[in-house]
Amino acid sequence: MRRVTCAIALFTFAVLGVAAPAAAPAQTATSEALRQYEEVLVSAYPVDEPGAAVLVARGGEVEYLGAAGTASLELGVPLEPGMVFEIGSITKQFTAAAIMMLIEEGRLALDDPITKFLPDYPDYGQNVTVEHLLTHTSGIVSYTNIPGYMEAEVRKDLSVEELIDVFKDRPVEFEPGARYAYNNSGYVLLGAIIESVSGMSYADFVQQRIFDPLGMRDSYYGSLSRVIPDRAPGYDGEPGAWVNAAFVSMTQPYSAGALMTTLEDLFRWNQALFGGELISEQSLEMMTTPHLLPNGESTGYGYGLTTRDIRGRPAVGHGGGIFGYVTDAFYLPEEDVYVAVFCNSTGSEVPPNLLAGKLAAIAIGDPYPEWEEIALDEATLQRYAGVYQIDETTQRVVTVEDGRLYTQRDGGRKLRAFPSSETHFFYKTSLSHFEFVIRGDTIYMLMHQGGAEQAEEAVRVADAPPPRQPVGVYELMPGFDLTVSRIDDTLTAQATGQPAVRLMPASETEFFVEEIGAEITFVRNPDGSVDELILLQGGQELRGRRKS
């Protein structure tokens, strides 16, 4: 059974333990739209598991506000739409807007080197600018990518200076401005710059310059010790195996991810941001325009905001993830539609970006199709197993295991796909779906990424992938392994909880991964065997002993 609580209801009633919303219209939403919002939300989260709170607004008015699932598993308290959530990296748009406010006041500039405000920070022999930090193009090592850091070090209370010390002496991973690499360190440095320029702590700046003027009374710089009314507890794990969220000192996400708020406060923020209450139209355009690299390639990221597509309509927003919480919120300016989804778990089967996309599509009157799973025999599924060539360098592998079909794109996770017909399949964790088409003796896979109308076509080039023979599993630290595998003459490495990457040879024992700036050296024994490797990344050296 499912539980849903909706702010649009005039009253609630209980039937067999399920609280249901009254069938009352809200704002300009049609009764059919309300039914669809509710159905999408209720079907996503069981009553006795962590869930989500959602908001849909159109024309500047909230037309749907609801919640499904449980806030406290220990107390059996249902989730309410007015609860306070940690929003993770949605914080970055607040940080970016704060920078733009200071720029408009003439107190800094986009092309200022960061050493102008942080004189003790190394210049790496080349200028890293404020804009490099905003656009994730600085090349600075992201502290959250340091092996093992998120497992232990993130628990420590650190000052801003101590947090910066974690990464500042590591060499840059690429020339500033040359590439895009999502980077939490950059937004930590932006917070430090805000403090340096304003003379206020980041928490005080956000409170006094943003929260208070906008009437965001249920928004906070995160704290795990402060008593915060209506705070929703967060959970990690997965259905059937939930645990309380792992501890993280809120000094660590800082200006990259430490804010907490409610759905309605975040909607108030979006109205102010796009309504000219905080920054000029020119500054907003800079925040919402994807940054271009020197080669003309778009990063898809502006300043603290990303761009996306909802049924062919442009949208701008950001997602967030932090221990116990995953969030997503975006705005469709042409339709004046805003959607926000806050989940109080990191392991729910339906991620917030999927739910948010479905809600937005309903709001604009162009809902995504809903697929119903059917049963197919294993012989039918096996017909499609094989390797599908997407382009010259990219493949997707389709496998069948225990009567289930899975797909895996190069470097990605293995995903289960569900049949809705003998040839059509969909994912329960994304909007993507695909179809197999047989033309003569050849099978094609037509993938609609993110529910796009235009299909990505791939042709089957082999019946089965080459066997993956493990070269060895190396323990870099307790609970963090590096699995080295071989496909034909190619080596790959996969760290715990991360996708596999291809190792490029520099010698018989030395390899590198260009896209993440890592080097791996295998240490040979006198007899030629290998029992140890050395991983060098971001100036840190880790040794791994072979386990198997």
Same domain for 8 and 22?
Answer: yes
| pLDDT greater than 50 at residue 24 | no
368 in a domain, yes or no?
Answer: no
Question: Which residue did the predictor score with more confidence, 402 or 23?
Answer: 402
Q: Are residues 392 and 509 in the same domain?
A: no
Mean pLDDT within 364-389: 94
Q: Do 314 and 333 form a contact (C-beta atoms < 8 A)? A: yes
% of the chain with per-residue pLDDT over 90: 70
Q: At what angle do helices 91-104 and 281-288 cross, to 10 degrees?
A: 140
41 found inside a domain: yes
* Whether residue 196 sits in one domain with residue 118: yes
Q: Is the pLDDT of residue 25 over 50?
A: no
Q: What is the mean pLDDT of residues 372-376?
A: 95
Q: Has residue 351 been placed in a domain?
A: no
Can you give the CATH number for the domain in which 488 is found? 2.40.128
Helix (H) or strand (E) holding 53: strand 52-58
Say whether both 299 and 266 belong to one domain: yes
In sequence order, the 6+-apart residues with CB closer than 8 A to the CB of 527 are: none
Tens digits of residue pLDDT in 239-260? 989 999 999 999 999 999 999 9
**What does the DSSP assignment read for 392-419?**
SS-EEEEEEETTEEEEEETTS--EEEEE
Q: What is the pLDDT of residue 203?
A: 98
| Total of domains in the chain | 4
Q: Based on the domain organization, do 125 and 74 belong to the same domain? A: no
| Residue 114 CB burial class (10 angstroms; 0-12, 13-18, ≥19) | buried
pLDDT band at 405 (very low <50, low <70, confident <90, very high): very high
Residue range(s) defining the domain that contains residue 44: 4-83
Residue 211 sits in the same domain as residue 323: yes
Q: Tell me the mean pLDDT in the region 335-359.
A: 95
What are 196-208's pLDDT values in tens digits? 999 999 999 999 9
Residues 475, 449 within the same domain: no
120 and 250 together in one domain = yes
Query: What is the model's pLDDT at position 480?
Result: 80
Specify whether 209 is located in the same domain as 280.
yes
4: which 2 tokens?
């849903």
| Domain match, 38 and 99 both | no
Q: Give 220-242 pLDDT, tens digit per residue.
A: 999 999 999 999 999 999 898 99
Name the least confident of 250-254, 352-356, 379-383, 410-414: 410-414
Q: pLDDT digit string (tens) for 144-158?
A: 988 888 888 999 999
With a cut of 90, say whether residue 485 has pLDDT above it.
no
Under DSSP, the state recorded for 50 is B
Q: What single letter denotes the amino acid at residue 278?
A: L
The predicted model scores a pTM of 0.81
Among 17, 50, 83, which residue terminates a domain? 83
Per DSSP, the three-state class of 264 is: helix
Which residue would you say has higher pLDDT here, 499 or 66?
66
